[in-house]
Structure 1
């Protein structure tokens, strides 16, 4: 079975993800009422939306550059312009469809269909997303540990949790043979992707993460939060890390829930946290609208497979 066929198979988990996000939203409405949501929708100003569009343009190009680097390492080349257009399209789909990962799946499938090496082409999207998270998670832990905040203790907890999750994922491989194949594939592709590219991938990921943090801080400002940026960064880091968890309805759910909790713990108010998260959601959605243009125009990346890929296809299929 091909990667694209496996990715297209419907599973209960596909429907459970948005259902859990809707459950979080329902619980928040029951707790706070609709007023914070309505307030958040009204708070975004034209200049804040323009700022979000500009910052997101930078973060999108950084993500496209990261994908380009990953694709080159896996033996599939894609131009920066095509990668940027595809990521804009992916962001728009993630921001408008349930689950929060439909855009990434669409990007992986499209990349695979247009490549002579569909396995590495599809996995390049997974590697690009993984490498982004590999920077966002330690950045969040560092912010929580270094900056004064009621959430500081979460930094140590987060570090321990990350190690525990990694151990569980490794232990979850079924059978020695399957585990050996998985380790061989991951090790081979990791070496190919990171060889000579660690620094640029790290730079692209860091700039992208800082861009999203700046938009959240901007959302807090338009919501009237007067706390300093130093006080807001730990809250923003935790909220955006939660927003990356694919248990949402077009991005909504965990983001608002964690924001309500974090702002409440920080003494800024549960309602304020919800309003800021909603304002951020509006700004992020508007910033992805170029992806709608790409979607309507039918543009898609057209990767070209190298004659001798660094990662052999037979390893991927082992």
Structure 2
């Protein structure tokens, strides 16, 4: 796969160019207590994300039990972390949940649930950049970082305008855009769903940012809250680019480039990102258990239902 080759190539360049051995030493000396906190934060974000999906799907006519939602979310995460593209697990989640309301609504619920998380991350980045701009004397962002933030926010606004404008088109594209807008209104802006969506999205984003900050602390770098709000979203947003496997390589490069802004070394940034990637991967391992249980259930013999039983029983032989 091309994405695997790109990930290996980028990681090799970083290892050679940034003294990867030093990053590995920082990783080997990581404080397990902070890593445990990162694991707890990522576990919390998985459970909360499953709840967000459940609430989103409910607004579109699907009823997903909480236990099943958590299991399906773990399974989707382990697939996303293991295969190129980063969305195959979510596609599988939609297919497996299609039976009650159809594939179209199941796919919309999954897509909107993921979109809500990305939007919240963008808004966090915007608020952090605004705080840094209005409160001089703390974190100083060079022009190239402000340019990255501006470009990221501009892409988000452009996508929103594109969806809004596409609704005026005729044909299949226009119908799809209008259906998406209607689904967004029902799932995110509905009075019944809005408070839960706001609370869950803020909690999930906070858990992700905290997990990375805990991994940085474990490898020797303490990040101030403003730095977490500004730099970590930029680092994590590299994971949505479908050019490597789950952001490996790009995430480490971004962390190595941004950590010197808070007085840390590029190697410290690389070590923190490696720790986050490994803890994130470990946090998805329950998905393998879900996969094994599902495969075992499919191979169990099906019990005969009453209608499959013979209508008469053979007569017993006389003794």
TM exceeding 0.5:
yes
Q: Does 1:66 align with 2:56?
A: no
User: For the structure 1 residues 23 and 285, does the alpha-carbon distance in structure 2 shift closer, same or farther, using more than 3 Å as the test?
Assistant: same
Q: Which has the higher contact order (CA 8 A, sep 6+)?
A: 1
Cross-structure match for 1:290: 286
Length, aligned pairs only: 285
Distance 1:200 1:173, change over 3 A: closer
User: How far has the Cα of 1:86 moved from its partner?
Assistant: 0.9
Matches within 5 A, 1:56-205: 56-112=42-98, 114-147=99-132, 148-151=138-141, 153=146, 154-167=148-161, 176-194=170-188, 195=190, 196-205=192-201
Normalising by structure 2, report the TM-score: 0.79
Are the structure 2 counterparts of residues 190 and 266 from structure 1 closer, same or farther at C-alpha, using a change threshold of 3 Å? same
**Conserved? CA contact 2:163–2:177, under 8 Å:** no
In the alignment, the residues of structure 2 paired with residue 283 and residue 141 of structure 1 have an alpha-carbon distance, to the nearest angstrom, of 27
Tell me: CA distance 1:165–1:125, structure 2 relative to 1, closer, same or farther (3 Å).
Answer: closer
How far apart are residue 197 of structure 1 and its match? Answer: 0.8
1:193-272 correspondence runs (5 A) = 193-194=187-188, 195=190, 196-272=192-268
- Please give the alpha-carbon distance, in whole angstroms, between the structure 1 residues aligned to 2:283 and 2:176: 37
Instruction: Give the TM-score taking structure 1 as reference length.
Output: 0.79
Q: Which runs of 5+ in 1 are unaligned?
A: 1-14, 301-318
Aligned residue for 2:220, secondary structure, equals: coil
- Cα deviation per residue 1:219-260 (whole Å; 9 max; x = unaligned)? 111111145344344222211122233332244122111111
Contact preservation (8 Å) 1:43, 1:279 = no
SS in 1 for 2:245: coil
Q: Distance in 1 between matches of 2:253 and 2:28?
A: 19
Contact 2:74 2:286 in 1 (8 A): yes
Please report the RMSD computed on the Cα atoms of aligned residues, expressed in angstroms: 2.8
Deviation at 1:85, TM superposition (A): 1.1
